Amino acid sequence: MNRMIRAAAAQIAPVFDETGLGTAGKICRTIADAAQQGVQIIVFPETIVPYYPYFSFIRPAFRMGAEHLALYDRAVVVPGPVTEMVGAAARAAGMVVVLGVNERDGGTLYNTQLVFDATGDLILKRRKITPTYHERMVWGQGDGAGLRVVDSAVGRIGALACWEHYNPLARYALMTQHEEIHCAQFPGSLVGQVFADQMEVTIRHHALESGCFVINATGWLSDGQIADIAGDPALEGPLRGGCFTAIVSPEGKLLAEPRREGEGLVIADLDFGLIAKRKRMMDSVGHYARPELLSLLHDRRPARTVHYRDDPPEGVEPDSLQDRT
């Protein structure tokens, strides 16, 4: 008997407040609302908590210092108050939650994806491996340790953020781990219609190539928020369009009407029988692969800035010791 689960992709606007907790509260309310509609997994947009750094797209680096520091002050520490809030909301709803946050670790911010199981436990924390273009002035780089697929209450979940989907080897790393649900996150309200068009091609292609479902969430900015961020009508254009919140089947089909404007949920029922139906024809990491010709080297060791070598135990030569943290 095929499994069926109900999934949602959330297109919402952030809350710009002094604490940075306003968006997290909105996330928790959205989880509770989705639970009333029978949703078992929900995906939120890229770095929605506290907000995506739209300022970095329209301001030169030497003028964005104050806004960058404000993002530091409001960023998420993992674990911390935000993960406690969202974990509790996931547990109360019995829902798997995939959330994008600006994570602060010491003196660096990261574009981080968090996966909470239906128990409220945090089962994956991964960082975007290569921030894109303007984002490199905001975030540090992630590592291969986060390119993992995890088991959850609804199935095997993998996640990538935005233009990581243009890195075919990163996508293949998740394919090799047999993801059943791929969670994609984009900022939304950026670049214009061309961004939304490219996004649709990208997520539908990954669904076909991986033979999995894709749940894609993009953010949204109201007219007032755009005006506040831009501070100049001439800079508002780049902060419009680029929204395509959608759910795609393993056959590349849209399972519900995508959301291109405004806030709301896209909801669809996922029939896991479609995964086998697709992979019977084309399994990229199975019968359609040629590993003797082409294979992937994936370094899953966490990146470390220090390696400690302690004094050797008595009678043990130093060269016999291995680096350890």
Q: Is 84 a catalytic residue?
A: no
- In the set 26, 28, 125, 128, the catalytic residue is 128
Q: Of residues 26, 28, 162, 164, which has the active-site annotation? A: 162
Taking the alpha carbons at both ends of the chain, their separation in whole angstroms is: 47
Q: What are 154's two structure tokens?
A: 């609804």
162 as an active site residue: the answer is yes
Tell me the torsion sign for CA atoms 297, 299, 78, 124.
positive
DSSP-derived 3-state class of residue 276 = helix
Which two tokens mark 139? 């975030």
* Active-site residue flag, 26: no
Closest to 266 in 3D by CA, of 311, 220, 215: 215
Please spell the DSSP secondary structure of 122-189, one letter per residue. Answer: EEEEEE-SS--GGGGGT-----GGG---EEETTEEEEEEEGGGGG-HHHHHHHHTTT-SEEEEEE--S
Q: What is the CA radius of gyration of the chain?
A: 20
**Active-site option among 46, 103, 179, 180:** 46
- What residues form DSSP beta bridges with 216? 184, 246
Residue 131: asked if its preceding bond is cis (omega within 30°), the reply is no
Task: Look up tokens 């894709």; give the residue.
Answer: 214
β strands within the chain, DSSP E: 4-11, 41-43, 96-105, 108-116, 122-127, 150-152, 155-161, 181-186, 213-218, 246-248, 264-271
| Catalytic residue set | 46, 128, 162
